[in-house]
Amino acid sequence: MTWLVGHLLAIGVGISLGLLGGGGSVLTLPILVYAMGVAPKSAIAMTSIVVGIVSLFGLLPHSRRKQIDLKTVLIFGSATTIGAFLGAKLAGFSVVTATLQMLLFAVAMLVAAGFMIVRQPRSNNSLGDREHQDSLSSYPRPLCKYCWLWLLTEGIGVGMLTGLVGVGGGFAIVPALVLLGNLTMPAAISTSLVIIALNSGAGLIGYLGHVSIDWYLTGSFTLAAALGSIIGTYLSKFVSADRLQKWFGYFLLAVATFVLVRVLLN
């Protein structure tokens, strides 16, 4: 029964990814820990695999549109992958307990929820015109002289967060690519998927050897999430992601509060 519930929730994660283009993967860790009983450190490593593969899966339609900025992947992605590897290695020290990791995850989830709740809708255009909505009204234009330096600095920070708690970090990567990388929103989203996949791979390498991974569960969970993303992508043709984003943000807020309470009580 636990296996079935967990995989139904995995399909839900995929649907949210397909509908919103991101954010849903942050639900993977609490599902593995609280619904399927996986130890937190193992669940974080497994989450890295799920997030990385599903990000590559979601990248396919973007790659055909040639919206990936390879220069930004090289600059920002190199910093995030180094950070992710270091974060995973840091998690191997005894001082970094599973409780601390789950606490950091809950905080990251609260931040992600905040981004989704407060960000303004992009426009009221038809759903078919989403790819052409480059309005960046939610973000100011970059004004810094050394944006590349800030980009590298944030890259290392986001990467370490990925390595420590397994989140993709898209909620921080996309605004950084728009603000500091001067990318359009579609290009930032496409490029972020590549970076998230690289982060997840680097984080996984950092965890190998000091955590146990249930490869069968990881594979089946990933397949369920991939199936859900196909369903979500289809449903996105009929549903406005902007309308769903704020409500999903409140849902993330509720889940983050649940995780935080569980961590503090334990």
Q: Which residue has better confidence, 22 or 184?
A: 184
20 inside domain:
yes
pLDDT beyond 90 at 123: no
% the chain with pLDDT above 70: 84
Cα–Cα distance measured from residue 27 to residue 16, given in angstroms and rounded to the nearest whole number: 10
Torsion sign across C-alpha atoms 74, 150, 198, 59: negative
The arithmetic mean of pLDDT across residues 128-142, rounded, is: 45
pLDDT beyond 90 at 46: yes
pLDDT beyond 50 at 177: yes
**Number of other CB atoms surrounding residue 75 within 10 Å:** 15
Consecutive H or E run containing 29: helix 28-30
In the prediction, which pLDDT does 147 show?
67
The arithmetic mean of pLDDT across residues 227-233, rounded, is: 83
Which has the minimum average pLDDT: 71-80, 107-116, 133-142, 224-233?
133-142
Cα–Cα distance measured from residue 206 to residue 138, given in angstroms and rounded to the nearest whole number: 35
Question: How confident is residue 127, by pLDDT bands cut at 50, 70 and 90?
Answer: very low
Tell me the CA distances in angstroms from 48 to 29, 38, 45, one per residue in order: 9, 14, 5
Question: How confident is residue 132, by pLDDT bands cut at 50, 70 and 90?
Answer: very low
Token pair, residue 35, equals 């619904």
pLDDT beyond 60 at 121: no
pLDDT beyond 70 at 173: yes
260 inside domain:
yes
Cβ neighbors of 18 (< 8 A, separation 6 or more) are 58, 228, 229, 230, 231, 232, 233, 234, 235, 236
pLDDT in tens, 69-97: 888 888 889 999 999 999 999 998 989 99
Instruction: Note down the domain range covering 88.
Output: 2-124+136-265
In the prediction, which pLDDT does 23 show?
63
107 inside domain:
yes
Q: Is residue 190 a contact partner of residue 216, using CB atoms and an 8 Å limit?
A: no
Cα–Cα distance measured from residue 203 to residue 12, given in angstroms and rounded to the nearest whole number: 24
237 inside domain:
yes
The arithmetic mean of pLDDT across residues 223-247, rounded, is: 80
Consecutive H or E run containing 51: helix 40-64
In the prediction, which pLDDT does 181 show?
77
Give me the amino acid identity at 191.
T
**Number of other CB atoms surrounding residue 251 within 10 Å:** 16
129 inside domain:
no
232 inside domain:
yes
**Nearest to 156, CA basis, from 87, 54, 233:** 87
Q: Is residue 204 a contact partner of residue 103, using CB atoms and an 8 Å limit?
A: no
In the prediction, which pLDDT does 136 show?
45
Q: Domain tally for the chain? A: 1
pLDDT beyond 70 at 165: yes
Token pair, residue 176, equals 């950084």
184 inside domain:
yes
Give me the amino acid identity at 200.
S
Question: How confident is residue 26, by pLDDT bands cut at 50, 70 and 90?
Answer: confident
- Would you give the DSSP letter of residue 208? B
131 inside domain:
no
In the prediction, which pLDDT does 193 show?
84
